[in-house]
Structure 1
Amino acid sequence: MQSTPSTSRASAKAFLVVLGAGLLTSLPAFAKQSDRDQPVNVTSTSFDGTQQQPNGKEPGKVIWTGNVVLTQGTLKVTGNKATGYLDGDNQITRVVVDGAATMQQQDEQNLWMRGKANNIDYKVDQDYAVLTGNAHVEKEVDPADRKKLNQSNGDKLTYNTANSTMTGESNGSAPVHMIFQPKQQPAAAPAAPAAQPKKP
């Protein structure tokens, strides 16, 4: 099913939230839970960082530049540049990725969610990521057919990395757009052979 309604900005957000709920009820409910217990690893061409100041008023910050790749279990976020924010224990709480930003994560059935946008704001300590600017998210729905995907497009999509739920909105004239794959129908049983007439 394809849905491209003409909606106002106010109703567009509500529309996608409702469709998102319908979409996700047919999907596994939880992202890979073991990801939350994994360390956050970041690689890049270069970085520049400072720890949180002793007065606690200035949070620590790290700026990664060039081929940035952040991983946490199956979760992977990439981009051209990323800014990481640190708490008082110098643990990453938030990463803002700019420039050809992408993300992906498996759920408990090992099905992939993949997203891309101009910007991804990943709230590590709050388990959600906000994809902004030409945001696109696709989700595998069938372990036997990895090419079967449900898709969402919008100006802003918010993806919960803990339970795979998603909301979104359209801030411009273009409406939100979602594509649902049809449910696989069971194969028809073969017709029984016609009975042969008995020989006299």
Structure 2
Amino acid sequence: MNQRIGYAGVSTDDQHLDLQRDALKKSGCSIIYEEKASGKSANRVELGNCLKALRAGDTLVVWRLDRLGRSLQDLVKIVTDLERAGVGFESLIEKIETTSATGKLTFHVFAALSEFERNLIRERTQAGLAAARARGRSGGRKPKLDAKQIREIKTLLKDPSIAVSTVAKRYGISRTTLYKYVGAA
């Protein structure tokens, strides 16, 4: 039996689900999963339960696109997974539904824009790294200790009366960092 299953979510305690709940009921949803969780949170339990409940032929309905995905990339992944499982998707406010050819086209335009954005970010990152290398800079954090300090520390640690923690404190580093540079010797 094909069902319309709704998902409603808000990100803070002072927001209410009433508007979304009413719109989902009006659109014919027989079951509505509700959640109060940060949109950035990867742990959205009710969304997971909702996605598990969907069967081929069902339609997942949300009030707005931003209620489902934390980002456009996340949204595209969720809807693509739904499509592979034979589940339709509908967003009431944006009037997007993937059960028709026009709805699928609209959604795939969003997906293409998302991929384009990811590629632009990757290209900019690569160009920035190449420009930094051309100026003699390499990535990563600057070393905490220089070669002279490492020699001094090795000399100090040869004296068994000097504690490792004392040497680390003197150079403003942790014991772990000290061992990283001079080994356990």
Shorter-normalised TM-score: what interval? under 0.3
Determine which structure has the larger helix proportion and give its number: 2
Determine which structure has the larger strand proportion and give its number: 1
Using structure 1 for the length normalisation, give the TM-score. Answer: 0.24
Using structure 2 for the length normalisation, give the TM-score. Answer: 0.26
Greater relative CO (CA pairs within 8 A, separation 6+): 1
